[in-house]
Amino acid sequence: MKFWNKKEKATENQRTATKTDVLHGLHLRSAYFENNIPNHELFRPEFEISEKINSILEKKDALTKSDVDDILNLLNDFEKIEHYDGSGWYDYQIQLAYFLRLSGFDTEVKNRKPLAANR
């Protein structure tokens, strides 16, 4: 039995995630970090950085390369401090990379340099 099939290109009738959908997911991760602070203080840095990044994303209709570089620099600096670093944080990074891709910038979770501007 095959569980994974090659995904065909989405048709007009199939729904794909929008930037609004992905931003909502980023807010959900941020709320997850905030809700876990009472149980483990190492969630606080993840909550604070996610709120800062989400704020940048919300304020811009279209991200510039400079905006993306600022976000990636924040993340790179953040990785130097102690934080929980669990699956919620990894999920946040994946969703953020997808949001950036929808905005025309390809990045990788662990190599946070803009690879190409698609615009």
pLDDT tens digits along 66-107? 999 999 999 999 999 999 999 999 999 999 999 999 999 988
What is the spatial distance between Cα 16 and Cα 79, in angstroms, rounded to a whole number? 31
pTM for this one? 0.80
Residue 117 lies in a domain: no
The domain total for the chain is: 1
Q: What is the pLDDT of residue 22?
A: 96
Return the SS3 of 24. Answer: helix
Residue 115 lies in a domain: no
Task: Retrieve residue 80's tokens.
Answer: 């130097």
What is the spatial distance between Cα 67 and Cα 56, in angstroms, rounded to a whole number? 8
Q: Residues, the chain, total?
A: 119
Residue 45 lies in a domain: yes
Whether 104 and 117 have beta carbons less than 8 Å apart is answered as: yes
Which residue would you say has higher pLDDT here, 45 or 113?
45
Among residues 112, 22, 34, 13, the alpha carbon closest in space to that of 68 is found at 112
Exposure string over 11-23, b if 16+ CB within 10 A, otherwise e: eeeeeeeeeeebb
Residue 114 lies in a domain: no
Residue 98 lies in a domain: yes
Which range of residues forms the domain containing residue 32?
19-109
Residue 58 lies in a domain: yes
Residue 14 lies in a domain: no
Residue 46 lies in a domain: yes
